[in-house]
Amino acid sequence: MLSWLQPIERWIVRIENAFGGISVAILAGCGALICVDVALRYVFNRPIVGGIEIIEYALVFITFLGASWAVPRGAHIDIDVCVQAMPKFWQRACAFLSNFISLGVAIVLMVFGASVTWTSFMRGAYKPTVLEVPTWIVLLIIPIGSALLAARFLRETIVCAEAIATGRDVARGEHPPPSVE
């Protein structure tokens, strides 16, 4: 890997691990909330007010907190039967193209997510539901998670470009990123 990319990789890994931990904690909290809500609903006929709404918002946070963490581990959906049958050069080219397109999507999500979040904040918009949560709080994770995802895909795109230039193989989600120590 390019030596100048290693310090950036360490920072990305640290943030991804923190976001992944938060995502797991939110997921565990959702599981507990669902269990308690079901028990209260069927035993006492008193569900948690806004419980389902909290879980809906949590799913957005889980998605955007964990998206970048999943990239180097190959945990995103990937159908590569045709790619694996190609010569090595074309495998590298497809990996580059895939990461480059994903980088573009992450940047679009980040920019439009930031715009919609800022607009919601400025207008004082809120969700007209039981909890009446300000909309920007729910949306804030979209530009933040997308920015980290863009950083990850930028790194992956650079590594693939280097692999094309040098003829080196690209590891495709077989190993987790290097540790931060």
Say if 181 falls within a structural domain.
Answer: no
Say if 174 falls within a structural domain.
Answer: no
Say if 162 falls within a structural domain.
Answer: yes
Predicted model pTM: 0.84
Question: Domain range spanning residue 137?
Answer: 3-166
Q: How many domains does the chain have?
A: 1
93-124: b (≥16 Cβ within 10 Å) or e: bbbbebbeebbeebbebbeebbebbeebeeee
Q: What is the 3-state secondary structure (H, E, C) of 113-169?
A: HHHHHHHHHHHCCECCCCCCCEHHHHHCHHHHHHHHHHHHHHHHHHHHHHHHHHCCC
Say if 79 falls within a structural domain.
Answer: yes
Say if 171 falls within a structural domain.
Answer: no
Q: Are 23 and 66 in contact (CB under 8 A)?
A: yes
Say if 179 falls within a structural domain.
Answer: no
pLDDT in tens, the chain (181 residues): 577 778 888 999 999 999 999 999 999 999 999 999 999 999 999 999 999 999 999 999 999 999 999 888 877 777 777 877 888 888 889 889 999 999 999 999 999 999 999 999 999 999 888 889 999 999 999 999 999 999 999 999 999 999 898 888 776 654 455 555 5
Q: What is the pLDDT of residues 8-22, one digit of tens each?
A: 889 999 999 999 999
Say if 180 falls within a structural domain.
Answer: no
Say if 172 falls within a structural domain.
Answer: no
